[in-house]
Amino acid sequence: MLGFVNILLGGIAYGFVLFLMAGGLSITLGLMGFANMAHAALAMVGGYTAALLIGKAGWPFLAAVATAGATAALTGAILERTLFRRLYQASELEQVLLTIGVVYVAIAAATFLVGPEQMAIAVPAWLDGNLHLGPVDLNRYRLFLIVSGLVLLVSLVRLIDHTTFGAKIRAAVFNRRMTASCGIDVDKLYALAFALGSALAGIGGALSVKLLGLDPNFPIKFLTELLIVVSVGGLGSLRGTFLAAMLFGIIDVVGKYLLPEIGAFIIYATALALLTVRPQGLIGRPR
Amino acid sequence: MVARRARWTAVEIAFWVAAAACYFLFPAKLVLLTQMLIGGLFAMSLDLLLGYGGIPSFGHAAFFGLGAYAAGLLAAHGWGEPLSGVLFGGLAAGGLGLAFSSVIAKVRGAAVLMVTLCIGLLLFEAASRMPWLTGGDTGLQGIDMWPLLGLFEFDLFGRTAFWYAYAVSFLLYLAARRYVHSPEGLALKGIRENHDRVPMLGVSTARRKMIAFTISATIAGMAGALLAQTTQIVALETLSFERSVAALVMLIVGGLGTLIGGFIGAAAFIWARDVLSALNPVYWMFWLGLILIALVLTSRGGLVGTLALLADYLARKRHPR
The 10s digit of each residue's pLDDT in A43-66 is 999 999 999 999 888 889 899 999
CA distance A241 to chain B (A): 15
Region A216-223: what's the mean pLDDT? 88
| CB B11 within 8 Å of CB B311 | yes
CA geometry: angle B179, B32, B257, nearest 5 deg: 25
| CB B164 within 8 Å of CB B148 | yes
CA geometry: angle A130, A134, A138, nearest 5 deg: 25
Q: Give the per-residue pLDDT at A284.
A: 67
For residue A269, the chain B residues in CB contact (below 8 A) are 122
pTM: 0.85
In Å, what is the CA distance from B261 to each residue of A142, A170, B218, B257? 51, 40, 19, 8
Confidence of residue A1 (pLDDT cuts 50, 70, 90): low
CA distance A21 to chain B (A): 18
Residue B1 has pLDDT above 50, yes or no: no
SS3 B140: strand
Residue A117 near chain B (CB below 8 Å): no
Residue B84 has pLDDT above 90, yes or no: no
Confidence of residue B3 (pLDDT cuts 50, 70, 90): very low
Region A24-31: what's the mean pLDDT? 86
Q: What average pLDDT is seen over chain A?
A: 87
Contact partners, residue A53, CB within 8 Å, separation at least 6? A59, A63, A64, A67, A68
For residue A112, the chain B residues in CB contact (below 8 A) are 282, 286
Cα gap B86→B178, rounded to integer Å: 20
In Å, what is the CA distance from A23 to each residue of A159, A221, B52, B138? 13, 17, 35, 37
CB-nearest partner of B117 from A97, A224, A262: A224
CA distance A158 to chain B (A): 26
Residue A263 near chain B (CB below 8 Å): yes
Q: Give the per-residue pLDDT at B300.
A: 62
Q: Give the per-residue pLDDT at A26.
A: 87
Confidence of residue B2 (pLDDT cuts 50, 70, 90): very low
What whole-number percentage of chain B has pLDDT above 70? 95
Cross-chain Cβ contact A104/B292 below 8 Å: yes
Residue A285 has pLDDT above 70, yes or no: no
CA distance B117 to chain A (A): 8
Region A177-198: what's the mean pLDDT? 88
The pLDDT tens digits of the residues spanning B137-146 come to: 777 777 777 7
* Strand boundaries in A55-118, DSSP class E: none
Cross-chain Cβ contact B122/A87 below 8 Å: no
Contact partners, residue B51, CB within 8 Å, separation at least 6? B251, B256, B257, B258, B259, B261
Cα gap B30→B22, rounded to integer Å: 8
Residue B320 has pLDDT above 70, yes or no: no
- CA neighbours closer than 13 Å in the CB half-sphere of residue B83: 9
Q: Is residue A139 within a helix (H) or strand (E), and if so which, with residue range?
A: strand A136-139
CA distance B290 to chain A (A): 6
The count of CB pairs under 8 A between chains A and B is 123
- Quote the distance between the C-alpha of residue B60 and its chain's center: 9
Q: Is A175 exposed, middle or buried (0-12, 13-18, 19+ CB in 10 A)?
A: exposed
CB-nearest partner of B122 from A35, A265, A280: A265
Q: Give the per-residue pLDDT at B36.
A: 93
The pLDDT tens digits of the residues spanning A82-99 come to: 999 888 888 888 888 899
Contact partners, residue A119, CB within 8 Å, separation at least 6? A47, A48, A51, A55, A209, A213, A214, A215
CA distance B218 to chain A (A): 21
Residue A264 near chain B (CB below 8 Å): yes
Residue A270 near chain B (CB below 8 Å): no
CB-nearest partner of B285 from A96, A104, A261: A104
Q: What average pLDDT is seen over chain B?
A: 84
Residues 265-294 of B with CB under 8 A from A: 282-283, 285-286, 288-293
Cross-chain Cβ contact A92/B110 below 8 Å: yes
Residue A286 has pLDDT above 70, yes or no: no
Q: What is the ipTM of this complex?
A: 0.82
SS3 A119: strand
In Å, what is the CA distance from B52 to each residue of A83, B187, B224, B244, B259? 28, 9, 22, 18, 9
What whole-number percentage of chain B has pLDDT above 90? 24
Confidence of residue B160 (pLDDT cuts 50, 70, 90): confident
Confidence of residue A2 (pLDDT cuts 50, 70, 90): low
For residue B273, the chain A residues in CB contact (below 8 A) are none
Residue B296 near chain A (CB below 8 Å): yes
- Among positive and negative, which fits the CA dihedral B304, B306, B312, B315? negative
